[in-house]
Amino acid sequence: MRHQKKTINLGRTAEHRKALLANQVCSLIEYQRIKTTLAKAKAVRPLAEKMVTLGKRGSIHARRTALATLRQKNAVKKLFDDIAPRSTERNGGYTRIVKLGQRKSDSAPMAFIEWVDAVQVIEEKPAEEKKAKRKEAEPIAKQKEPARKPEEPATKEEEPTAPPAEEPKPKKRKWFSRKSTKPEE
């Protein structure tokens, strides 16, 4: 019988699984949110929540226990200094799993695992930067177009001689045979 043997094996040996989960929790602490498979996210959640519980205790013994599990000093320091104090009022449920759909290559179900308390601040900054870059690119393109319009009559006289000779070459298909493409190049 399998009573009380609820470990998610993930197709790995015990040592490999412990190392994988410790590294995932350290990445979660460092980046606040990680993208992984749904099975790994479900396996990481209990360990991450245990680490936050240790962080809330704040004792030397709890710190050493967390360090024995995670094996990274900077992750333990950030856990005890930043993440655990944010969730002092919570009695559990420090992480959230958001399903993303399936990965293109092997159709594995993917998910984000993130801290419940600190997700919104991180998402807003990259979104604003991306939008700003797109807005900057459009005015530059608009400025260049009017500048080219007066030059177009002069360039149209030069273009008919050179581009027609160059345009047919790229249109030819190179997949027929190598012999037909080598003499033309």
Q: What is the DSSP string of 50-93?
A: HHHHHHHH--HHHHHHHHHHH--HHHHHHIIIIIHHHTSS-SS-
Residue with tokens 């190598």: 178
What tokens appear for 42 in the block?
């479900």
**What mean pLDDT is reported for the chain?**
80
Q: What is the pLDDT of residue 31?
A: 96
pLDDT for residue 169: 55
Stretch 132-144: mean pLDDT:
54
Query: pLDDT (tens digit, 9 = 90+) per residue, 36-45?
Result: 999 999 999 9
- For residue 22, give the amino acid letter: A
Check residue 5 and give its pLDDT.
86
Each domain of the chain, given as residue ranges in start order, spans 14-117, 119-151
In whole angstroms, give the CA distance from residue 30 to residue 8.
24
pLDDT of residue 118: 72
- Sign of torsion over alpha carbons 82, 84, 90, 94: positive
**3.20.20.70, 2.40.50.100, 3.90.1030.10, 1.10.1530.10: CATH of 14-117:** 3.90.1030.10
| Pair of tokens at residue 85 | 């104090």
Threshold 0.85, pTM exceeds = no
With the CA atoms of 116, 117, 119 and 125 taken in that order, what torsion angle do they form, in degrees rounded to the nearest 10? 170
87 — phi, psi (to 5°)?
-110, 35
Q: Give the whole-angstrom CA distance, residue 28 versus residue 115.
A: 8
Q: Kind and range of the H or E element at 109? A: strand 109-115
pLDDT at 168 over 70: no
pLDDT at 181 over 60: no
Tell me the mean pLDDT in the region 40-69. Answer: 97
Whether residue 121 has pLDDT greater than 70: no
The CB density around residue 71, as the number of other CB atoms within 10 Å, is: 14
d(Cα 113, Cα 96) in Å, to the nearest integer? 6
Q: What percent of the chain has pLDDT over 90?
A: 61
